[in-house]
Structure 1
Amino acid sequence: MNSSGPAEQGLRLIPFRGLRYVPERVGSLAAVTSPPYDVVVRPDGLHHLESADPHNIVRLILPQAETAAARHRQAAETLDRWLAEGVIAPDPEPALYVYEQRGETVLQRGLIGALALSPAGDGIVLPHEDVMDDVVADRAELMRTTRAHLEPLLLTYRGDDGPTGAGAVVERTTRRPPLLATTTEDGFRHRLWAVTDPAERDEIGADLSRRQALIADGHHRWATYLRLQREHSAPGPWDHGLVLLVDTARYPLQVRAIHRLLRGLPVPRALAALGDGLFRVREVAGPLPEALGALAKAAARSNAFLLAGDGRFHLVDRPDPELLARAIRADRPAAWRTLDATVLHSALLDDVWRIPDDPAHIGYIHDAAAAVEQAERLGATAVLMHPVREEVVRDLARQGVTMPRKSTSFGPKPATGLVMRSLTTD
C-alpha cells in the first residue's frame, strides 16, 4: 500500500527475542516446520507432520486432545518442556528478522517483528476478510495458555525502490551469512537473518512509520491479537503481534483461491438444487488441471464454480440475475456484490443449498486436489474457486469493505516454526 498520513500514524515494528529451534536438538529444521495452522490438511497432513519429527511445531499449533481446554493446556506444557530441555531457546538479544523464501519461480523477502497493534478501522492495518468467532476464540485461548505467538501473520505494504529504507535494509542483510537455512518438503528454501544494529532498525522504523499494510494472510490471528490486547489494560507484550511484513513493490505476492468442502451435501443433491435455470450447469473434462482451466475461462465472463466429489467435474456459471438480486445485499460496492465468494455464500450456500455457515458443514481447503480427494472420500461436494485479483482485494480494503471469509490465499506463506515470540521473555 502507498504511504498515508503523518509518521506517527504508520506501522511500528519492534524487535523481540525470537524463540527458535536449537538445530543440534532436532533432526532437521525442515522436519520441525509446518504450514500455517489453517493450511494443514487434516488428518493426513497432521499425521505426516507429527511423524516427521517428535518436536514438529504442529504439536503446538494443532495439539490433539479430547477437549479444547486439554488441547491448549497440552500445547503450553509441550512448549514449556521443550524450552526446559533446550529444544527451543530464545535468542540472546532482541532483533528484527529478515526472512527469505525461494522457490523455482518465486522469491519473497520480508521483515519479521512485533507490530504495534492499533484499533480496527484506523487505516494502518487493513483487513479484507470477515472472521469466524469460534476460530478467534480458539486461537485466543491457545495464545493465552501458551503465552506465545507461535506463527506470524502475513502483511503486505508498498515501499519505495530506493537506496534507503526498510526494503534497502532487507536487501543488504541478505548479503550476510544467515542465522539459519533449510529446505522444506515443498522445495522452498528458507533463510533467516537477525537485524540488531540500532542504525538499521532506525532506518526501518522511519520508513515503516509512513506506511499502511494489508492483511494478506492471518485475519483470525489479527482479530485474536486485538481481542487479547483489549483484555489487558496495562501496557505490555499483548500490545504487539508477531507479523511478517512484505514489500510487494519489490516482491509481489501470489494470490490463490481457497476452496470449500460441503460435508453434508452430495454432488447429485447439489446439482439437483440448481435446476430451474438458477445457474448454467455442464460437465467438463478432467483431469483436474484441465477442469480448472475451464473454470478460469468461465470466471473471466461471469461468476463460476467447479463442483467435484462424484468422480466428475461440473462447471456452474452464469447465475440467474433474479437470484442475485434476491440474495445479495444491495448496500455494498459493485466489486463486492460480484465477487465469486459473495455469490457462493449469499446465493448458493444461504439461498439455494441452505447450508449453515459453521465448521461442521463447511471446510476451507487451500489445495484443489486435496479438496476433491476429501469430497470423493466423504461423499461430499467440493466447490473449487478461481482466485480474486489482488487489486480488487486492495480496493475493497481501502473502502473498509470486508470480503466473505476465506476469499483469498496470498502466498507464499511463511513456514511456521522458524521463529516464534514469547510473551513472557519479550
Structure 2
Amino acid sequence: MNYAGPAEETPARSGLELTPFRGLRYDPDRVGSLAAVTSPPYDVIVRPDGLLHLESADPHNIVRLILPQDTTPTARNRQAADTLHDWVSEGVLAADPEPGLYVYEQHDDGMLQRGIIGALRLSEPSAGVVLPHEDVMPHIIADRAALMRATSANLEPLLLTYRGNGSRVGTAAVIERAAEGDPLLSTTTEDGFSHRLWAITDPADLAEIQTDLGRHQALIADGHHRWATYLRLRAEHPSPSPWDYGLVLLVDTARYPLRVRAIHRLLHNLPVAEALTALTDSFRVRHLDVPLAEALEALGAAAAEGNAFLLAGDGSFHLVDRPSPDLLARTVPADRPEAWRTLDATVLHATLLAHIWGIPEDSPAHIAYIHDTAATVDKAERDGGTAVLMHPVREEVVRDLARQGVTMPRKSTSFGPKPASGLVLRALPL
C-alpha cells in the first residue's frame, strides 16, 4: 500500500500541516453504486439492524472494514485486514495516481458544507494545534488502535473545524475554485445528502493551502477516539513514519457552520420508574404526554433557563430540570470554569449518573451513547431502560472551553454533517 507523508522530518510548526496523499477509493465500475458502499462513521451505527442493512446494501460496503463481525476482536481485525487486502488486489479499491488533497462537499436542502481532506501531521495536546473538547474511553481507543494496526490504514476521516476569516482567500479560494470543476465522484446517500469529491494536485494550490492552514488551530468536532488512537499509534512507531499523520476532514466554520446536536444516553438496567423515584426532591419533574417533537421543544425551553433533561422509555416523556443548588455544590467539581460546571453533560455525569443513579459512565453494560433521538427512545421502550435525551451545546461554548484546555464529559456533542465513510481512505505501508 501507499506511503502518505514526507520522507523526512520537517521543522516544528505552530499551526496545521495538511499533507497530500494517494487516496484509496472505490472503483465505481466494481461496485453496485458509490452510495451503496458508504456508511456513517463507525460510532454512529449503534443498532444491529443498521449494521445488517449496510452489509446487505453491497458486498463491498465500507462497514465490513470499520465494523468487521467475528467471534473475537483478533478475528474481527484479521478479517478487516484480509478484506481490505482482497479489495485492493481485486481492484475494488484503487489508489489515485498522484498524491493530493481532496475537497469534499456535502449538500442537502438546508445545508452546504465544503471542507478539505488530507493527512494531518499529529501534534501533542500541549502544542495547542488540535484542540480536543471531550474525554475519551480507553477501551474504545484500544479497539480502534488494534483495527488500524491490523489494516495499516486510516479507514475514515475524523472531523476538525477551524475558524477562517470568512473571506474567499487562501484555503477557501482553492476549495471554491476546485468545486467549479468536474468532481472525481458524485453520489447521493439514502439520508438525502449529496456528496462530491475533487482532487487538488497543483503544487501552487497545495502551497497556498499549507501556508494558510499553518496559521490556524483546529477543534475536534467528531472523532476524539480516533484522534487519541492516532496519537497512540504514532508513539508506537519511530519517527519519521506514516504514523506521524492521520486522516482528517477540515471545515472552516466561518464559511460553513456545522450543525451541533446532542448525543443521548441509554441506561440499560434502569427502568424509568426507578430513575424518577431516585430523583426525590433534587430535581423538578414534569410528566409530558405529548409527541417527541413537542417534548424536545419543551426540553429546549427548559435548557435555556438551566440544566434540563428529558427521560423516556415508559411510553411517555418526563422533563427533569431545576436541580437543587445544594446538590450541585456537593457533586459537581469546583475546580473547573463555570461554563464547564453548568454544562448539562457535567450535571448528568457528576450528579445524576455518579451520585443519584450510581451508573458507571464507561461501562457498555450499563450505558450506551446514541446519536439518533428516536432510536434512543425506541430502544429504551423495547429494553425497559431509560433514555436520557440531551439538548445540544453551542459551538462557541465548546471552542472556548477547548482553548482553556478544559475537556467536556465524554460524548457531549455531535457536530455534523459527519463525513461519509468509504469515499476516500488512506493506506499506510505494511
Per the TM alignment, residue 159 of structure 1 is displaced from its structure 2 partner at its CA by 1.2
User: Of the candidates 405, 410, 417, which is equivalent to residue 415 of structure 2?
Assistant: 410
Residue by residue over 1:221-256, the C-alpha shift from the partner in whole angstroms, topping out at 9 and shown as x without a partner, is 000000000011231100000000001111011100
Answering whether residue 283 of structure 2 is matched by residue 279 of structure 1, we say: yes
TM-score by length of 2: 0.96
Residue by residue over 1:377-415, the C-alpha shift from the partner in whole angstroms, topping out at 9 and shown as x without a partner, is 111100000000111001100000000000000000000
Partner of 2:107: 102
Secondary structure at 2:358's aligned position in 1? coil
Partner of 2:357: 353
Paired residue type of 1:402: T
Which segments of 5 or more consecutive residues in structure 2 lack a partner in the other structure?
1-10
TM-score by length of 1: 0.97
Per the TM alignment, residue 7 of structure 1 is displaced from its structure 2 partner at its CA by 9.3
Contact 1:7/1:210 (8 A) holds in 2: no
User: Of the candidates 299, 306, 311, which is equivalent to residue 303 of structure 2?
Assistant: 299
Per the TM alignment, residue 163 of structure 1 is displaced from its structure 2 partner at its CA by 4.5
Partner of 1:69: 74
Secondary structure at 2:116's aligned position in 1? strand
Answering whether residue 395 of structure 2 is matched by residue 390 of structure 1, we say: yes
Partner of 2:84: 79
* Residues matched between the structures, number: 419
Secondary structure at 2:347's aligned position in 1? helix
Partner of 1:313: 317
Bigger mean CA deviation after superposition, 84-93 or 174-183: 84-93
Cα distance in 2, alignment partners of residues 380 and 88 from structure 1 = 42
Answering whether residue 170 of structure 2 is matched by residue 140 of structure 1, we say: no
Cα distance in 1, alignment partners of residues 360 and 130 from structure 2 = 30
Partner of 2:216: 211
Bigger mean CA deviation after superposition, 192-201 or 159-168: 159-168
User: Of the candidates 21, 28, 35, which is equivalent to residue 16 of structure 1?
Assistant: 21
Partner of 1:192: 197
Cα distance in 2, alignment partners of residues 219 and 370 from structure 1 = 23
Question: Runs of 4+ in structure 1 displaced over 2 angstroms?
Answer: 160-164
Within-5 A mapping of 1:221-370: 221-275=226-280, 277-357=281-361, 358-370=363-375
Cα distance in 2, alignment partners of residues 359 and 390 from structure 1 = 28
> Once superposed, what is the RMSD of the aligned Cα atoms?
1.1
Residue by residue over 1:41-95, the C-alpha shift from the partner in whole angstroms, topping out at 9 and shown as x without a partner, is 2211111111111111110000111111111111111111111111111111111
Cα distance in 1, alignment partners of residues 364 and 290 from structure 2 = 29
Per the TM alignment, residue 160 of structure 1 is displaced from its structure 2 partner at its CA by 2.7
Report percent identity of matched pairs. 72
Secondary structure at 1:10's aligned position in 2? coil
Per the TM alignment, residue 327 of structure 1 is displaced from its structure 2 partner at its CA by 0.7
Per the TM alignment, residue 211 of structure 1 is displaced from its structure 2 partner at its CA by 0.5
Contact 1:164/1:203 (8 A) holds in 2: no
Answering whether residue 375 of structure 2 is matched by residue 373 of structure 1, we say: no
